[in-house]
Amino acid sequence: MADPEFEGRLGRLFAEAPPLGDSEAFARRVSSRLDRAWTLRRLLIGGLGVAGGLIGVGQVAASGVVGRAAILSTQSVKIFSIAMANHLPAHLFFDYMPVGSDFLWAAGAFLVVGLVLVVMRAIGEL
């Protein structure tokens, strides 16, 4: 027969944690195992990233896309310069810039590098 009073008391007795003296040491053991698992995971993700990156670089190099991009880039700069010269008075654009078009290209490159660093940091935080 059910005895709610006794069962309630039993539940409360089970809920009382026994006084085990090495709580700190136990917590350290768990933290240590957690850290090991964490490090292993990060190494695995990093390793897979490097492998994927190498494969990607290899594929890009093999396809000759770099050479084609260089040609396209040169042509683009020429087309852009001609277009700018034809449609904008010179004083509206580069005259107001402290530096020339080289600066814009360099700034663009830094922006790309910055974005890559932000993405890497975000991945590192995951």
Partner 1 sequence: MSNPKARPPVLASSHDVELAGLAQGGDRAAYGELVRRHGAAIRGLLLRLGADPTLADDVAQEGFLTAFEQIGDFRGESAFLAWIKRIVARLYIKRLRRETRGGLLDLTARPDGETSAIAQDVLGGADLDQALRGLTRSERLCVGLCYGAGFSHAEVADALNAPLSAVKSEVKRGLDKLRSGLAWGGV
Q: Please give the residue ranges that form the binding site for partner 1 (CB under 8 A).
A: 3, 6-7, 9-11, 13-20, 23-24, 26-31, 33-35, 37-38, 125
What single DSSP character describes residue 97?
A: S
Smaller CB separation from partner 1, 39 or 76: 39
Give the nearest distance from C-beta 118 to partner 1 in angstroms. Answer: 17
Smaller CB separation from partner 1, 102 or 125: 125
- Say if residues 79 and 72 touch (Cβ distance below 8 Å): no
Taking the CA atoms of 106, 111, 114 and 115 in sequence, report the sign of the dihedral they define: negative
Give burial (CB, 10 Å; 0-12/13-18/19+) of 84.
middle
Give the nearest distance from C-beta 51 to partner 1 in angstroms. Answer: 25
Give the nearest distance from C-beta 42 to partner 1 in angstroms. Answer: 11
Encoded tokens for 7? 């069962």
Smaller CB separation from partner 1, 16 or 95: 16
Give the nearest distance from C-beta 39 to partner 1 in angstroms. Answer: 12
CA end-to-end distance (rounded Å), the chain = 54
